[in-house]
Structure 1
Amino acid sequence: MPKMRKISLLFLLFASCQYIERVPSKEQLLQEEMKSIDWDQVDALPSVAGCDTIKDLAVQKNCFFEYLSRQVQMRLDPESLAELYPERDTIEVKVTVFPDSHLSFEPQFAKDSTAYDTAKIDSILRTRLADFPKINPALKRGVPVKSQFILPVILKSE
């Protein structure tokens, strides 16, 4: 029996030494973790104070976009834009929420569209949306990140 114990003990030591050698390095672990992260999705969407307390993510998202749409509509005075562009009922605006909570608004038109004075629309957006209320940035693993989305701005409602 004692000889059997020595063999078992030696096997155990040998096996445990092999196990120690298989522990991945910090760099390997980091690389594996980085590959597992979906960088196209955020953990928390941008938000405003009135929507932060909502637990249901779909309802919170809806609350945020309704708030944002309302604020943009109020500030832009769609009637003046409708006068500039009578053939359009909606313009699309790319909204960028930066990690430091500042926003940028950029009109989006088809690339072949030369009929629109994009500089004029851009100027209107910058002027009228300059004092936009604070938006909390999106979060990825607890870190504020940049997010972008397209927001339709209704010029005419029938």
Structure 2
Amino acid sequence: MKQFSVFLVFLFFNSCQYFEKQVPSEKELLQKELKSINWKEVDEYPTVAECETIADEKQRQKCFFDVMAKLIQEKLDIDTLSILYPELDTIEVKVTVFPNSKMVFEPQFPKDSVAYDTIKIDSILHARLVDFPKVNPAIKRGIPVKTQFILPVIIKEKEQK
């Protein structure tokens, strides 16, 4: 019995090392988690009411981009943009969707855009691109986040010869 108790005491003192594991600090855990997150992609893309019933993520994303491009084209069809600038058939529009569902549209012009008045086109776009349906923002880890994407908007179809 005496040997058994000495063995237990010996075992008790040696087993303490198994309980004293090095616990990482809160900051280390946070940094490790932040590095593991892919900040370039979102869990859910922005969406409009028409596309929310689609289950497939890629199809829902395509639906959203198609709806947005169609809405922008419809709003620009009623304008004189194609008459003022007949050489301009497509404009790339940078769309920013904020976490509060607010949207901002910025035309993206090529570096050599001296052929047309970018300020005038920009003002026409800002005047026309209003009153959009509610857009649900993108989601990253359950939190609404800001997203940006560039949509090519066709102002007029190229005429077939």
> For the Cα contact (< 8 Å) 2:76–2:155, is it kept in 1?
no
Find the aligned partners of 2:17 and 2:99 in 1 and give their Cα distance.
51
Find the aligned partners of 2:17 and 2:151 in 1 and give their Cα distance.
63
Match of 1:8 among 8, 11, 33: 11
Alignment of 1:39-118 (within 5 A): 39-77=39-77, 80-118=80-118
Find the aligned partners of 2:46 and 2:64 in 1 and give their Cα distance.
8
The amino acid of 1:8's aligned partner reads L
Q: Offset of 1:80 from its aligned partner?
A: 2.5
Q: Percent identity?
A: 55
> For the Cα contact (< 8 Å) 1:78–1:155, is it kept in 2?
no
Q: If the length of structure 1 is used for normalisation, what is the TM-score?
A: 0.90
Specify the structure having the higher radius of gyration (Cα). 2
Find the aligned partners of 2:84 and 2:45 in 1 and give their Cα distance.
33
Q: Offset of 1:14 from its aligned partner?
A: 2.8
2:140 is matched with 140
Instruction: Classify the secondary structure of the residue corresponding to 1:114.
Output: helix
The amino acid of 2:130's aligned partner reads A
The amino acid of 1:27's aligned partner reads K
Q: Offset of 1:79 from its aligned partner?
A: 6.5
Ranges in structure 1 where 5+ consecutive residues have no aligned partner: none
> For the Cα contact (< 8 Å) 2:101–2:135, is it kept in 1?
yes
Find the aligned partners of 2:112 and 2:89 in 1 and give their Cα distance.
19
Ranges in structure 2 where 5+ consecutive residues have no aligned partner: none
Q: If the length of structure 2 is used for normalisation, what is the TM-score?
A: 0.88
What is the total number of aligned residue pairs between the two structures?
A: 155
Find the aligned partners of 2:53 and 2:24 in 1 and give their Cα distance.
41
Find the aligned partners of 1:107 and 1:31 in 2 and give their Cα distance.
37
CA root-mean-square deviation: 1.6
The amino acid of 1:12's aligned partner reads S
Q: Offset of 1:97 from its aligned partner?
A: 0.8
Cα deviation 1:57-112 (Å, max 9, x = unaligned): 11001110111111111111177222122112211111111111111111111123
